[in-house]
């Protein structure tokens, strides 16, 4: 997993420049690995009408899904201060999370690895409809 984390870190460093964050001035980037082994990146994209802003994590997730991916096994999120994923991103992740999905929250000071099940327990899911 250490190699995967380093690869996603490198992808995030390349992608950070694409953040469109003129309002918050907070640049966030994310890179993920799918269960099929492919990687995708995303960055936060803000909008003057704030509610249309989308987080880096969801950009990466939707890019992967729109290319036919079904499951995410590792996601790396970088911002200077190391913001963890917000509630909506956790909910979207829960729909496509591998059973052992790891979430890496990184900052300029280092990173922390979390089990997704630990940071988003008892999620509302397709199982809720049964
Ligand atoms: Zn979010």
Name the band, by pLDDT with cuts 50, 70 and 90, for residue 130.
confident
* Domain ranges across the chain: 2-129
Query: Does 14 have pLDDT greater than 90?
Result: yes
Query: Does 126 have pLDDT greater than 90?
Result: no
Catalytic residue positions, numbered: 57
Helix (H) or strand (E) holding 39: strand 39-43
Ligand 1 centroid distance, CA of 84 (Å) = 8
Cβ partners under 8 Å of residue 115, min gap 6 = 100, 101, 102, 103
Ligand 1 centroid distance, CA of 28 (Å) = 10
State residue 128's pLDDT score. Answer: 87
Ligand 1 centroid distance, CA of 86 (Å) = 4
**Pairing state between β 72-79 and 39-43:** unpaired
Mean pLDDT of all residues belonging to the chain? 96
Name the band, by pLDDT with cuts 50, 70 and 90, for residue 127.
confident
Q: What is the mean pLDDT of residues 110-122?
A: 96
State residue 125's pLDDT score. Answer: 86
Share of the chain above pLDDT 90, in %: 92
Select the more confidently predicted residue: 15 or 124.
15
Q: What are the residues facing 105 on neighbouring strands?
A: 77, 112
Q: Which two tokens stand for residue 4?
A: 């995967």
Ligand 1 centroid distance, CA of 83 (Å) = 10
For 37-87, write each residue's pLDDT tens digit: 999 999 999 999 999 999 999 999 999 999 999 999 999 999 999 999 999
Q: How many CB atoms within 10 Å of residue 67?
A: 10
Q: What are the residues facing 72 on neighbouring strands?
A: 34, 97
Q: What is the mean pLDDT of residues 106-120?
A: 97
Give 54-119 as a DSSP string.
Answer: B-HHHHHHHHHHHTT---EEEEEEEETT-PPPPHHHHHHHHHHEEEEEEEEEEETTEEEEEEHHHH
Architecture of the domain defined by 2-129? 3-Layer(aba) Sandwich (3.40)
């Amino acid at each position: 997993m250490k190699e995967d984390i380093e690869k996603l870190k490198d992808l995030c460093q390349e992608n950070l420049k694409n953040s469109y964050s003129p309002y918050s001035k907070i640049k966030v980037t994310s890179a993920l690995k799918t269960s099929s082994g492919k990687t995708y990146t995303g960055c936060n994209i803000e909008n003057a009408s704030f509610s249309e802003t989308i987080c880096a994590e969801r950009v990466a997730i939707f890019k992967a899904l729109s290319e036919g991916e079904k499951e995410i096994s590792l996601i790396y999120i970088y911002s200077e201060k190391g913001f963890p994923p917000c509630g909506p991103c956790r909910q979207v992740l829960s729909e496509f999370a591998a059973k052992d999905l790891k979430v890496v929250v990184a900052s300029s000071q280092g990173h922390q690895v979390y089990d997704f099940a630990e940071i988003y327990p008892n999620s509302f899911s397709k199982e809720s409809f049964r």
